[in-house]
Structure 1
Amino acid sequence: MDILLSFALYGGITSIRDMGGDVPFLLPYVSLGFLPKIPYPRIYYSCLIGGPDFMLDPRVQQAAHGTVPGATGWLRSITNTTDIPAAIKSAVDIGVTGIKIYADLDKNLTVTITKEAKKQGLRIWAHSAIFPTKPSEEVSAGIEVLSHTAYFVFESYDPMPQSYKVRFNGDYVNHSYNSQNITNLLQMIKQADVILDATVYVFTEPDSIRANSYFSMFRSSASTASHNNDLDFPRIGQQWIFNVTRNAHELGIRICAGTDDLGSSELGDKFPNIHKEIELFVHECGFSPLEAITSATKTASQAIGIDKYYGTIEPGKVADLVILYDDPSIDITNTRKIYSVIKQGVFYTIPNQTL
């Protein structure tokens, strides 16, 4: 973990929004990340919320660390009989920044959870499809950040699939990216000023071996057959995702850069995947280089809810900066040419930088 967090910081990342729900593992590193002289990003973590079926997911079982999955402040199963105020308070008590609503909740429960979490001062993050809740129903419920453009395809489904296990099986062939359903959804998002955490990289990059392996596992376990096999998805799905993200950007929706896969020097990555994300924003989704940088700085800080102190260069804000050798407004790949990272006013010069 020390290697991973140092890799992130030296790659230009000073804050991380973690939505994996493994708080016991993260906590020792959270306090260190807020110390200026420790080369870790700050970590803002969440309570992962879903229905009972989601708590059977092997990842959730692992993150429970021997507790009952769904019965802790960092992993919470919600049903119609749950004391929701008490459940949210247990998340507040362990210091989460927000809740991550994952899956297996209907629209009425989504509304109730969202209202209570806001009442108790938490940010509201969610997958952009909470099966069986549709993306538009999430917007109506008051979700503040929707993750994954890819899941917008389910807005066009009637009926909506009930199981989150089909989320990688979206039919991108028969549900057009510019259909009236998708257009109406984007207009709703714009009007509600919801942030889109697009995560185009993890769904579209052919070199994301870990992601493709992960998708394959869930496609094969889903009860509904996939319309796209693992070889087809980059060809069929990626353009759909790029097109919808481009349309969202042109409409003026706030889009933040996120990855779902940080990257790792131990797996051969030279830089965190956030650089690939913003490069795709520019090359495939119609962003200017400065707009892409804004998605990873100002808008990302808004998504976390820390924009009062971070995300832009202004008097009174914390000095988090990346100093580059070349101008990224001319070439977005210049964000990789890092001379130094400044976290809370402390300089971290990059060792053995190769241009």
Structure 2
Amino acid sequence: MLNLPARPATAAMLIASLLASAPAAMADAPVRTVYADATLIDGTGAPALTHQDIIVEGERIVAIVPHGDPAAQEATSAMIVDLSGAYVIPGLIDTHVHMATPPAPAMAKAMLRRNVYGGVTAVRDMADDVRSVAELAREARYEEIPGPDIYYVALFAGRMFFADPRVAAASQGYKPGTAPWMQAIDRETDLKDAVTLARGTGATAIKIYADLPGDLVAAITEEAQRQGLKVWAHSAVFPSKPSEGIDAGVDTVSHVCYLAYETGTQMLDAYEDRTPVDETYLEQPEDPVMAGLFARMVDHGTILDATGSLFVLQEAERKADPNAKPLRCTGAATTRLTRQAWKAGVPISTGTDTVSGADHAWPDVFDELFFLAEDVGMPAVEVIHSATEVGAEAIGVADEMGTVAPGKLANFVVLADDPLADIENIRSIRMTVKRGTQYRRADYPPVTEEELSGEH
């Protein structure tokens, strides 16, 4: 005969167990924080709203209400952060960084720290050794290090590209072109297998980089998107023309300068050919060929990762060194093309592709914001939209971040001064809130030369 425990005793034990665990469950409940009485610039491009209370529980925004609304006072344990006189914008997004070619964890962590204490809550890593980048992403995600969330690519290119020394630096231990995150592609490649390998690295997207014909660009794009990955491409892959990538349906293109190769009489055969854009083909102020290309981008919803400040900076450096090699585009042409794209309605994100030295107190993305505002002429509210909502759309996470809205991650920046009055006021940061965690600017440990050199 089976000796079963009595049912009442089992029920009693269950109730006791539940009661015992209740205090722990309550202790784990998200803490409510009310960021009270701020002027909110929500990232959508809409006008600012004054006297708003942003209610956060755990890592998410649960409500935004007028200051003093009873909803902000529902939880007696709520922590109140007085933001009267302050301004709130969404966390900034840098859509073009490189952190691990070759892996340099001390430098990368310094960059990430400078970013998050400077208002950046997400970045797009656009080709590196993903073994290092994935670990940095994990550490930043779980707040083991201060840093923005990281989204990264697996790179596809034609076989010629893999003689580039950067490949060996970012895929040590693999024959160039065989690492799952840096694959050489040709007509014999099984694209289904190649994309599956890339997806296994944890990448958000395939980056189509160089030395591929238009039909392969289209085939890669189709297979990547079929498997749920984004496609982030150079704006000219060579020998593919910019229009071929756009017509293939890539999600974003990087470097506005490369788009100008569309205007030439003949496309370069390879990425390795550094012949500059022939700017004599670019009619000023608005080129008709480029107008057609930008109209295509609008039709396809293609986002432009312009990286304009990079080309303006490089142009200034080249002028200071008469022996420097010519650039693909001048700074003036880069500015003019970006302005034409913006006026045509192309969504522009804020990517940088630069790393400043230890003497630079602020994230590199600030330079791109200032380029869009001061050189291109974009109003500050649209610059903020580019640096937030458009960046989230470029990554494919606009349902989670990019605007300050109920249900989204609590990713926002508190400023002392109005950035709509002057975009330079972006430097008046009081704190960054990333996934509900506060990073106060006053607590920022500045980047050191030792960190950037890898000695720390």
Match of 1:302 in 2: 393
Asked whether the 8 Å contact 1:151–1:167 carries over to 2, the reply is no
Q: Aligned partners of 1:60, 1:323: CA distance in 2, in Å?
A: 40
Match of 2:158 in 1: 51
**2:276 counterpart SS class:** coil
Q: Aligned partners of 1:151, 1:318: CA distance in 2, in Å?
A: 34
Q: Aligned partners of 2:366, 2:258: CA distance in 1, in Å?
A: 22
Match of 1:194 in 2: 302
Name which of 283, 287, 311 aligns with 1:179.
Answer: 287
Name the TM-score, length of structure 2 as normaliser: 0.70
Asked whether the 8 Å contact 2:117–2:439 carries over to 1, the reply is yes
Report the CA distance between 1:209 and its aligned residue: 5.4
Name which of 409, 424, 428 aligns with 1:337.
Answer: 428
Asked whether the 8 Å contact 1:47–1:91 carries over to 2, the reply is yes
Name which of 56, 60, 64 aligns with 2:167.
Answer: 60
Name the TM-score, length of structure 1 as normaliser: 0.89
Match of 1:204 in 2: 312
Asked whether the 8 Å contact 2:158–2:210 carries over to 1, the reply is yes
**2:203 counterpart SS class:** coil
Asked whether the 8 Å contact 1:144–1:195 carries over to 2, the reply is yes
Q: Aligned partners of 1:12, 1:262: CA distance in 2, in Å?
A: 16
**2:207 counterpart SS class:** strand
- AA matched with 1:133: S
Q: What per-residue deviation string (whole Å, max 9, x for no partner) do you get for residues 9-33 of structure 1?
A: 1111111100123212212211011
Match of 1:222 in 2: none
CA 1:208 to 1:312, structure 2 compared with 1: closer, same or farther past 3 Å? farther
Report the CA distance between 1:171 and its aligned residue: 2.0
Asked whether the 8 Å contact 1:134–1:155 carries over to 2, the reply is yes
Match of 2:195 in 1: 88
Match of 1:282 in 2: 373
Counterpart mapping for 1:234-249 below 5 A: 237-249=330-342
The answer to whether the aligner puts 1:291 opposite 2:399 as a matched pair is: no
Q: Aligned partners of 1:168, 1:279: CA distance in 2, in Å?
A: 29
Q: Aligned partners of 1:179, 1:8: CA distance in 2, in Å?
A: 36
Name which of 340, 343, 356 aligns with 1:250.
Answer: 343
Match of 2:404 in 1: 313
Report the CA distance between 1:106 and its aligned residue: 0.2
Q: Aligned partners of 2:135, 2:216: CA distance in 1, in Å?
A: 33
Q: What per-residue deviation string (whole Å, max 9, x for no partner) do you get for residues 173-207 of structure 1?
A: 44335332211111111111110111100011259
Report the CA distance between 1:105 and its aligned residue: 0.2
**1:166 counterpart SS class:** coil
**2:183 counterpart SS class:** strand
CA 1:269 to 1:208, structure 2 compared with 1: closer, same or farther past 3 Å? farther
Q: Aligned partners of 1:168, 1:45: CA distance in 2, in Å?
A: 29
Asked whether the 8 Å contact 1:202–1:208 carries over to 2, the reply is no
Q: Aligned partners of 2:228, 2:281: CA distance in 1, in Å?
A: 41
Higher relative contact order (CA 8 A, sep 6+): 2
Q: What per-residue deviation string (whole Å, max 9, x for no partner) do you get for residues 160-182 of structure 1?
A: 10111235622224433533221
The answer to whether the aligner puts 1:41 opposite 2:148 as a matched pair is: yes
Asked whether the 8 Å contact 2:315–2:330 carries over to 1, the reply is no
Asked whether the 8 Å contact 2:410–2:436 carries over to 1, the reply is yes
Name which of 88, 91, 98 aligns with 2:205.
Answer: 98
Q: What per-residue deviation string (whole Å, max 9, x for no partner) do you get for residues 299-321 of structure 1?
A: 00100111110110111000001
**CA RMSD after TM alignment:** 2.1
Q: What per-residue deviation string (whole Å, max 9, x for no partner) do you get for residues 318-351 of structure 1?
A: 0001111101000001111111011100111012
**1:278 counterpart SS class:** helix
Name which of 4, 20, 26 aligns with 2:133.
Answer: 26
Percentage identity across aligned positions? Answer: 35
Report the CA distance between 1:8 and its aligned residue: 1.3
Q: What per-residue deviation string (whole Å, max 9, x for no partner) do you get for residues 241-262 of structure 1?
A: 1111111111111110110114
Q: Aligned partners of 1:281, 1:97: CA distance in 2, in Å?
A: 27
Question: Which runs of 5 or more structure 2 residues have no equivalent in the other structure?
Answer: 1-107, 445-456
The answer to whether the aligner puts 1:161 opposite 2:234 as a matched pair is: no
Asked whether the 8 Å contact 1:153–1:182 carries over to 2, the reply is yes
